[in-house]
Amino acid sequence: MPLWLRGVGLLPFWLLYAFAPLLSLLLRYVLRYRVNIARGNLQRCFPEFAPARIGSIVNSYYWRLGQIVVEFLKLASISADELRRRVPITNLQTVRAELAAGRSVILLAAHLGNWEWQLQSAVLQIGSPLDAAYKPLHTVGADRALLSLRGRFGARMVAAKKLLRAVARRRGQLHVIALMADQIPASSGGRQWVTFLGRPTAFYPGPGEIARMTGYTTYFVSMRRTARGHYQMSFLPLMADGEQLEPEAFTARYAKFLEAEIRADPANWMWTHRRWKLAPPPQLALQA
């Protein structure tokens, strides 16, 4: 881990949060980091919202984003006990019961709340080996630093393209598979289109294929902000052990869970992602 990252991580929370508003203002008004993308996504997903409400959600989103950045940096030094205290899991026993019965599980997450703390909290509180999918960065040094943070509490980071092979190798071992499923799929050959937030939306088919291949119980991971620096996680049953779901049905169910979370608190999701840059198939475009 780079020394500068260790040094920043050692700063107390109160000092880091003093910088968070400056980061928010920098991203929102100076750099204007993807502001038009965030506003455009919100306008198209919530056409019923007045412009003032859209503007309020955009402002709230960037205000929280500044806090998420400093919270991410704090991962370099935050203690396990402190992270457990700040991110309790309301129904942890449901996942632990599956694992105690000798059944591996899948945690299907999204960019809700502080998604970096989400992973670390799951690792610390579940107590079983956890394989987490990630997308490697192009810069070797940055990728190494990111992996050191994400693996600090024991998560086994697996490049997304290698996840299926890793799952197959560990099929006979008790473990947890964790992955995000709400970003745009890059490969044209690997897309499933479902209606999400009122729009035809492409999703990765991989999670549904892994769930069908393994038959593991799958949980949707909810993460909601309760106060500055405090979140609450919940594991919502998405597919029961041994349940047979086609990948299309699995993806549609995941999208429904995610949409409910976003509608409950729109500023809690990552709106700066170019989520809808792909054109849907003609038949879906006509239905939109």
Domain ranges of the chain: 86-287
**69 Cβ partners below 8 Å, 6+ apart?**
20, 23
Confidence of residue 132 (pLDDT cuts 50, 70, 90): very high
Confidence of residue 168 (pLDDT cuts 50, 70, 90): confident
pLDDT at 24 over 90: yes
Written as six digits, the tokens of 221 are: 């991971």
What is the Cα Rg of the chain in Å? 19
Confidence of residue 31 (pLDDT cuts 50, 70, 90): very high
Mean pLDDT of 17-33: 97
- The reported pTM is 0.93
Confidence of residue 160 (pLDDT cuts 50, 70, 90): confident
Which residue type does 57 have?
I
Confidence of residue 283 (pLDDT cuts 50, 70, 90): low
What pLDDT does 163 receive? 87
pLDDT at 170 over 90: no
- How open is the CA angle 82-109-234, to the nearest 5 degrees? 55
What pLDDT does 3 receive? 80
What pLDDT does 224 receive? 97
Give the lowest-confidence range in 151-155, 164-168, 264-268.
164-168
What pLDDT does 287 receive? 54
156 within 8 A of 243, measured Cβ to Cβ = no
pLDDT at 286 over 70: no
What pLDDT does 2 receive? 73
CA distances (Å), origin 258, targets 70, 98, 159, 161, 270: 25, 23, 23, 23, 12
Confidence of residue 187 (pLDDT cuts 50, 70, 90): low
Q: What are phi and psi of 231, to 5 degrees?
A: -140, 165
Mean pLDDT of 155-166: 89
CB-based burial label for 15 (10 Å; 0-12, 13-18, 19+): exposed
Of residues 6 and 130, the one with the higher pLDDT is 130
pLDDT at 126 over 80: yes
